[in-house]
Amino acid sequence: MTTIETSRSQYAQIADLVRRRIADGTYPAGAVLPSEDRLADELRVSRPTVNKALVILRNTGEIKVRRGAGTVVRSLPTILRDAKKRYAARNEGSGAGEVEVSRHALKSSTTYREISQTTPPMSVAEILGLAEGEQALLRSRVLYANGEPIQIADSYIPWRLAEGVPDLMRENAGRGGSYGRLADAGNPVTRFAEDITVRMPTDDEQRTLELETTQPVFEICHVAYSQDRPIEVCLHVMTGHLWKLHYEWDDPTHEQDS
């Protein structure tokens, strides 16, 4: 029988115990946890103490409440987003997001919320160098892994570049995604830049990504350039506990030293 020490924070001990049981397979990925009452009886503590421990694990994304099922162990692994490799491999599928999810042996799917001509947010318009009132194509989508939402991605492309490319108005833009179609139209992507912010989700993001109110997200402002001209801004909002961001680059002083 597991003993919870009275000299230490009981709810923290219970959280650690559940983590160990997840790690050793006692509670495998996707499994429903025992009820709070059952855990309280087993560990000889109060139900509020168990609840406090499970709240910790919900906040870190290790477990989640699934309507109609109860509290379940997280079923998805940490997904690696390799900033350099993901775009180099995008021709393997319809886009970089599909490629990186599939590499984890997960089933990738995408739901489009909107594809339309729109006035972009001011911050996006400034990056794209759009004049006041100038329009952009919005491709707004939610990416899923094994049916679970993992990312919101809103892409903005200047309308003057998008309006003559009919595939950009379709959900499936074809192999290579929207960058492939922009390249076909004479606007190949030659450079990327990203700014990353960690913040709390908006109400809409929380509902869409099925997050707790206390779970932060990564916001990545991704800019694609054709030569020195920005041709797309994509605002990625990603569940913070599911993603690992990887970046690498060459040492710019190496050639100078040699």
242's tokens: 């599911």
How does DSSP assign 49-92, residue by residue? HHHHHHHHHHHTTSEEEETTTEEEE--SPPEEEETTHHHHTGGG
pLDDT of residue 90: 59
User: Mean pLDDT lowest for which of 24-33, 75-84, 203-212?
Assistant: 75-84
- Mean pLDDT score of the chain, rounded to an integer? 91
Cα separation, 29 vs 26, in Å, equals 10
Cα separation, 157 vs 163, in Å, equals 10
Task: Let me know if 37 is exposed, middle or buried by CB neighbors in 10 A (0-12, 13-18, 19+).
Answer: exposed
pLDDT higher for 85 or 129? 129
pLDDT of residue 94: 55
Q: What percent of the chain has pLDDT over 90?
A: 78
Q: pLDDT tens for residues 5-58? A: 665 799 999 999 999 999 999 999 999 999 999 999 999 999 999 999 999 999
Cα separation, 166 vs 137, in Å, equals 11
Q: pLDDT tens for residues 227-247? A: 999 999 999 999 999 999 999
Structural domains in the chain plus CATH codes? 10-73 (1.10.10.10), 79-246 (3.40.1410.10)
Q: Is pLDDT of 68 > 70?
A: yes
Of the candidates 141, 179, 143, which has an alpha carbon nearest to the alpha carbon of residue 162?
A: 179
The model carries a pTM of: 0.87
Q: What percent of the chain has pLDDT over 70?
A: 92
